[in-house]
Structure 1
Amino acid sequence: MTRSSAMPAKKIRTYAALVLALALAGCISLGGGGKPPAFLLTLSADKPVEAGRTAQGTSASMIVVMEPETSQKLSVVRVPVQVDDTRVAYLVGATWVERPTKLLRGLLAETLRTRTSTLVLEDSQSMAAGGERLAGQLVDMGYDARTGSVVVRFDALRTLADGTVQSKRFESVIPGIAAKPEFVGPAINRAANDVARQVADWMLGK
C-alpha cells in the first residue's frame, strides 16, 4: 500500500472512532454524572408546623406514620404517565428528589402535626410499639394523559391502639393540567395535600 492510499484510510478510522465516541456519550454516563433533570420535584405541606410548636405523648398515645407500600410503577423517582389502560410512560425532564412513598409519608406526618398536639412520628424515627399506626398503599401519584389530570390515590390502613384495623381509600384529581413538569409538579403537590388533609380528618375524627 502506498503512502497516499494509507493516509485517507487512517483518517477514516479516526473519524469513525470519533463519531462512535460522540454517539455513546449521548447514551451513557461514565461515573454517574449525567445530565441533571430540568425539574426536581418534591412534596411540601401547604401549612407546615410553626417553629417552636411542641408536642408530647407516650408510646401508647402517639401516632406513627409508616412509609406506604406501592407498585413498581411508583417505586422509582420518575413521574408516571398513564397513557392508556395498559401502557405507562414517564414524564420527560422531571424527577422526584426521593421515593414518592417517602415523600407522601412526610407530608402525611406533617399535616397531622399541624392538626393535633399528639406526638406524631414517622417510622424512620420510632420503632416503639403501641399507639396508632397509619400505613397503606400509594396506588397512584402521577399524570393521566387520557384526561389531562394529575391523580393522587392512597389506600390508608389505620391500626388503633387496641388492635382494631380500619381502611379507607382517599383520592384527589386535578384536571386541565398540561403534560409539562412545571405544571404537573405543583398540581401533584396540591392533590397530595388534599389527600393528606382528608386522611388527617379521618384519623382525628373531624
Structure 2
Amino acid sequence: MRTIRAMTSPIRHLRAPLLAAAAAVTLSACVSLGGGKTPPFLLTLDADAAPAAGESRTAGDTATLTILIPTAPQKLRTPRIPVQQDGASVAYVQDAQWVEAPQRLFQRLISETVAARTSRVVLDEGQYLTSPGEQLAGQLMEFGVDAQTGEAVVVYQAMLVSSRGKSVTQHRFEAREPVGAIEAKPVGEALTRAANKVAADVAAWLAN
C-alpha cells in the first residue's frame, strides 16, 4: 500500500520570519543602534513657566533651595534619546540629539519651574557662596521612549535634603505623553511636555 505524505507549503514556514523582518525594518527606520552623522537640528527643553523678568527675592539660608543636576543611568549619559524596545534592548531615535546633556536640561527646567511656581529662592549648584540651604538631588531614571506603548516617559526620583542635613525626603515622579511617530521632532515635543508635567509636580510637592 502506497503511503501518501501531505505536502507542507513553504509559504507557511516563511510567513512568520517575513512578518518579524517587516516589523524590524519598520522600527529600524526610526531608531539607530550606532553612531551617525550630525543631525540637522538639536533639541532642547522649554519650560512652561519661568520667573518674571526683573523679579527680586530675598531669603535666608534655610529658605533657599539649591537644585542639583540629577544622576542618570548609562543609557541617558548621552545627548541621544533612548528607545526602550523591550526589557533587555535599547536603541536611539534616529537624527535626534539634545543640545546638551539631558540631565542638565532637566535640572534647568526644574529650577525655572520651581522658581516660577513657588516663593523659593532657587540656586544652581554653582551659585551659592555660603550655605546652599535645602538641596534637591535625585536621579533621572527614564527620559526617553517606550516603544511598546508609544509614549515618551520621564521618571525622576527626587531627594530633598534639609538645610542642616538632618532629614531626607524622597518622592518619585512620572509622566507619560503619546509620541505618535518615533522621530526627532515629535519625540522631542512629547518629552518636553512630560518633563514639564514632572517639573510642575515637583514644584507643587516643594510648596507643601
97, 118, 121: which is aligned to 2:99? 97
Displacement after TM superposition at 1:176 (Å) = 4.7
Indicate the residue corresponding to 2:66 in structure 1: 64
TM-score under structure 1 length normalisation: 0.79
Q: Report the CA distance shift for 1:176/1:92 in structure 2 as closer, same or farther (over 3 A).
A: closer
* Equivalent in the alignment of 1:201: 204
SS of the residue aligned with 1:193?
helix
Q: Distance in 2 between the 1:97 and 1:126 partners? A: 26
Matched residue count: 172
Residue type matched to 1:201 in 2?
A
Equivalent of 2:75, from 73, 76, 79? Answer: 73
Runs of 4+ more than 3 Å apart? none
Separation in structure 2 between the aligned mates of residue 150 and residue 114 of structure 1, nearest angstrom: 25
Contact 1:39 1:182 in 2 (8 A): no
Segments of structure 2 that go 5 or more residues without pairing to the other structure are 1-35
| Structure 1 unmatched ranges of 5 or more | 1-33
**Aligned counterparts of 1:127 and 1:100: Cα–Cα separation in 2:** 26
- In the aligned structure 1, how far is the partner of 2:120 from the partner of 2:145? 35
Backbone CA RMSD of aligned residues:
1.5
How do 1:114-193 residues align onto structure 2 when only pairs under 5 Å count? 114-126=116-128, 128-162=130-164, 163-193=166-196
Percent of pairs identical after alignment?
A: 42
Q: Flag the structure with larger Rg.
A: 1
Which of 126-135 and 152-161 deviates more?
Answer: 126-135
Shift of 1:59: 2.4
Letter in 1 for 2:85: V
